[in-house]
């Protein structure tokens, strides 16, 4: 019997989450240590899994398959490709960083006695469900965890954070309702896909199947027994759920409220980790299962993505709350990711996959550093700051680096991914690529202007409450340990993007070959 690499991968944080909840209520420090240790163990295991993966193969590897619910044609099937691998590595790297960043965010002495236990257990539960989503090769299995991850994130948003309880509750309910509605629409499409598979003779004795491999192969050869209209409807059902999760304009409004209501670490877990499941699923399910529908709707989806890019950037410029500003930058970045996916070119999709990783690192760095500052001052208003670089030069310097990464400065990780997305989009939709490029100028405006107002200039009197001990302190050792790997990751992937692209490109090429996707052939006019 072969080693169940992928099962162990998601079970490690899942089991650790249960163990944390079984610890005595007074052992809050022990709960944090167990959770942090489990996240490190999951990281080590993921690295071992990566060593078992061959970057030269674009298809699924490390496949695990077992009977689950035969009557429904669904199986416990896990598989890994290059795209899933890089997102898994992003998840397992960020989780221990986030747990360390939130070490003092939740005080066990306030609220319920098990407040700390609940917080770290929920973080591990989200990690486990996200990891399962990246390796699930059964449509129903994916759907279950796609929906289940909403539960721990709902409690993280509604139960923790500096915002008032009423504000947190409202943001949590909004988050849940949006995503549950998206999941409800997707469920109808999942059922419809099963019916189509049964009519197409797929599954045991033609009884239908949820196997992603079988359904994708049938879709590629035109073997799904359904009219184009039916396939288009099923495609839109999947897309709607993923566009809510991503989120894509105009389904984005839950994100800023949720991001500023919870703790910075939980907000990063949501934006940098959980939301990637939406864009990942667009590549794996929308394009893999419905290649012709994807081509039909690609121009319209690209138009929505361009609106997201520009809208998110403009809204970011108008914010007076630094945390909400960063949340709106994520909406803009998700627009870039979706744009590259539905450009339906190899460069665009490789750039989008790389952008998912780079956005995770840059957003984590910027949001956590801003969170460290806001925690000290007790205010997220940009106007309450000034001259921070004189009081906390390391904090200001790392904020600047993370901000430069967010605006895609050459040499930092997001640059090459954004460049690939624009180039890949330009070959098919030149107007969309040109309009999206405007966001490069807008991002420079909101990042540099924010840095100037908060970090530059004279020290504001409101910052210094006690002349003997200014409340704005530089990063302590724990915070430096949190920020350092994120900054290093932005530099390393900025200089050596092949570390990720060597795994992403074969997966994108394999998917393109399966779905019959071809890049546009460049044309040139004859000289007169």
Question: Per-domain residue ranges for the chain?
Answer: 292-520
Answer for the pair 247, 331: CB distance below 8 angstroms, yes or no: yes
pLDDT at residue 309 tops 60: yes
pLDDT of residue 468: 46
pTM of the model: 0.90
- Measure the CA–CA gap between 361 and 151, rounded to whole angstroms: 24
Answer for the pair 258, 172: CB distance below 8 angstroms, yes or no: yes
- Measure the CA–CA gap between 254 and 182, rounded to whole angstroms: 13
Largest CA distance in the chain: 83
pLDDT at residue 214 tops 50: yes
Written in H, E and C, the secondary structure of 482-498 is HHHHHHHHHHHHHHCCH
Angle at 515 between CA 510 and CA 518, to 5 degrees: 85
Once rounded to an integer, what is the mean pLDDT over residues 17-38? 86
Beta bridge partners of 381: 321
Q: What is the DSSP string of 305-316?
A: HHHHHHHHHHHH
108-128 pLDDT per residue, tens: 444 455 688 888 999 999 999
Give the best-scoring range by mean pLDDT among 332-341, 462-471, 516-525.
332-341
Residue 461: band (very low, low, confident or very high) from pLDDT cuts 50, 70, 90: low
- Measure the CA–CA gap between 352 and 356, rounded to whole angstroms: 6
pLDDT of residue 462: 52
pLDDT at residue 492 tops 90: yes
pLDDT at residue 162 tops 90: no
As a residue count, the chain comes to 528
Q: What percent of the chain has pLDDT over 90?
A: 35
Closest CA to 333 of 255, 397, 227: 255
Closest CA to 124 of 21, 37, 39, 41: 39
The residue with greater pLDDT, 23 or 361, is 361
Residues near 276 by beta carbon (within 8 Å), at least 6 away in sequence: 87, 90, 130, 356, 360
The residue with greater pLDDT, 380 or 527, is 380
Question: HSE on the CB side for 101, CA within 13 Å?
Answer: 30
Answer for the pair 139, 234: CB distance below 8 angstroms, yes or no: no
Answer for the pair 460, 387: CB distance below 8 angstroms, yes or no: yes
Q: What percent of the chain has pLDDT over 70?
A: 92
- Measure the CA–CA gap between 296 and 153, rounded to whole angstroms: 34
Two tokens, residue 84: 């899933």
Q: Where are the alpha helices (DSSP H) in 378-517?
A: 388-391, 393-406, 413-426, 430-455, 477-495, 498-515
Q: Is 144 exposed, middle or buried (0-12, 13-18, 19+ CB in 10 A)?
A: middle
The residue with greater pLDDT, 25 or 129, is 129
pLDDT at residue 172 tops 80: yes
How far is residue 109 CA from its own chain's centroid?
Answer: 32
User: Which strand (E) or helix (H) includes residue 207?
Assistant: none
351-393 pLDDT per residue, tens: 999 999 999 999 999 999 998 888 887 778 888 888 888 888 8
- Measure the CA–CA gap between 449 and 452, rounded to whole angstroms: 5
- Measure the CA–CA gap between 349 and 298, rounded to whole angstroms: 13
The residue with greater pLDDT, 259 or 519, is 259
pLDDT of residue 67: 84
Judging by DSSP bridges, how do beta strands 74-80 and 61-69 pair with one another? antiparallel
Question: HSE on the CB side for 438, CA within 13 Å?
Answer: 14
- Measure the CA–CA gap between 402 and 408, rounded to whole angstroms: 10
Say what angle helices 393-406 and 477-495 make with each other, to 10 degrees.
30
pLDDT of residue 465: 42
- The DSSP code for 525 is P
232-257 pLDDT per residue, tens: 999 999 999 999 998 888 888 888 88
The residue with greater pLDDT, 44 or 223, is 44
Answer for the pair 220, 516: CB distance below 8 angstroms, yes or no: yes
Once rounded to an integer, what is the mean pLDDT over residues 481-488? 93
Beta bridge partners of 78: 64, 136
Q: Which residue has the tokens 């504000």?
A: 167
401-422 pLDDT per residue, tens: 999 998 888 889 899 999 999 9
Question: HSE on the CB side for 114, CA within 13 Å?
Answer: 10
Residue 339: band (very low, low, confident or very high) from pLDDT cuts 50, 70, 90: very high
pLDDT of residue 509: 83
Answer for the pair 300, 429: CB distance below 8 angstroms, yes or no: no
pLDDT of residue 384: 81
- Measure the CA–CA gap between 12 and 96, rounded to whole angstroms: 13
pLDDT of residue 463: 46
pLDDT of residue 341: 92
Once rounded to an integer, what is the mean pLDDT over residues 208-224? 81
Average pLDDT, the chain: 86
Answer for the pair 436, 309: CB distance below 8 angstroms, yes or no: yes
Residues near 287 by beta carbon (within 8 Å), at least 6 away in sequence: 294, 341, 344, 511, 515, 517
pLDDT of residue 280: 92
pLDDT of residue 152: 93
Question: Helices (H), strands (E): how many in the chain?
Answer: 22, 2
64-123 pLDDT per residue, tens: 888 888 877 788 999 999 899 999 999 999 999 999 998 887 764 444 556 888 889 999
Residues near 54 by beta carbon (within 8 Å), at least 6 away in sequence: 61
C-alpha to C-alpha distances, 13 to 98, 275, 485, 486, nearest whole angstrom: 14, 19, 21, 22
């Amino acid at each position: 019997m072969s080693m169940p690499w992928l099962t162990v991968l998601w079970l490690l944080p899942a089991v650790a989450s249960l163990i944390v909840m079984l610890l005595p209520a007074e052992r809050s420090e022990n709960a944090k240590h167990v959770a942090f240790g489990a996240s490190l163990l999951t990281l080590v295991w993921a690295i071992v899994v990566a060593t078992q993966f061959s970057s030269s193969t674009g298809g699924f590897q490390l496949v695990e398959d077992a009977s689950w619910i035969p009557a429904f044609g669904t199986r416990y099937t896990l598989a890994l490709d290059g795209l899933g691998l890089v997102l898994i590595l992003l998840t397992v790297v960020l989780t221990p960083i986030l747990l360390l960043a939130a070490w003092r965010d939740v005080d066990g002495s306030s609220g319920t006695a098990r407040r700390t236990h609940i917080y770290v257990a929920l973080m591990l539960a989200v990690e486990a469900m996200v990891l399962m989503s990246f390796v699930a090769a059964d449509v129903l299995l994916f759907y279950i965890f796609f929906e289940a991850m909403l539960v721990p994130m709902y409690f993280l948003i509604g139960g923790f954070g500096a915002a008032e309880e009423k504000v947190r509750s409202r943001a949590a309910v909004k988050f849940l309702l949006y995503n549950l509605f998206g999941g409800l629409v997707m469920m109808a499409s999942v059922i419809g896909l099963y019916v189509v598979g049964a009519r197409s003779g797929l599954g045991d004795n033609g009884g239908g199947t949820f196997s992603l491999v079988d359904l994708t192969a049938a879709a590629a050869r035109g073997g799904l027994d359904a009219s184009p209209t039916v396939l288009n409807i099923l495609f839109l059902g999947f897309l709607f759920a993923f566009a809510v999760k991503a989120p894509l304009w105009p389904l984005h409004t839950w994100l800023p409220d949720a991001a500023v209501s919870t703790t910075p670490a939980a907000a990063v877990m949501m934006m940098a980790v959980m939301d990637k499941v939406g864009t990942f699923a667009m590549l794996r399910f929308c394009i893999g299962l419905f290649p012709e529908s994807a081509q039909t709707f690609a121009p319209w989806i690209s138009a929505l993505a361009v609106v997201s890019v520009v809208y998110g950037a403009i809204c970011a410029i108008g914010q007076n709350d630094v945390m909400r500003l960063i949340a709106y930058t994520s909406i803009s970045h998700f627009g870039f990711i979706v744009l590259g996916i539905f450009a339906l070119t190899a460069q665009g999709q490789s750039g989008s996959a790389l952008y998912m990783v780079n956005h995770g690192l840059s957003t984590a760095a910027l949001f956590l550093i801003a969170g460290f500052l806001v925690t000290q001052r007790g205010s997220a208003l940009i106007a309450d700051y000034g001259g921070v670089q004189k009081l906390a030069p390391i904090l200001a310097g790392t904020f600047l680096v993370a901000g430069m990464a967010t605006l895609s400065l050459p040499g930092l990780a997001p640059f090459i991914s954004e460049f690939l997305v624009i180039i890949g989009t330009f070959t098919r939709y030149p107007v969309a690529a040109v309009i999206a490029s405007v966001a490069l100028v807008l991002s420079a405006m909101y990042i540099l202007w924010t840095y100037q107002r908060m970090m530059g200039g004279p020290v504001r009197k409101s910052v210094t409450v006690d002349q003997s001990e200014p409340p704005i302190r530089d990063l302590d050792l724990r915070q430096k340990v949190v920020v350092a790997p994120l900054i290093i990751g932005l530099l390393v992937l900025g200089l050596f993007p092949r570390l990720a692209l060597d795994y992403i490109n074969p997966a994108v090429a394999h998917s393109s070959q399966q779905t019959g996707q071809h890049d546009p052939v460049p044309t040139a006019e004859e000289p007169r």
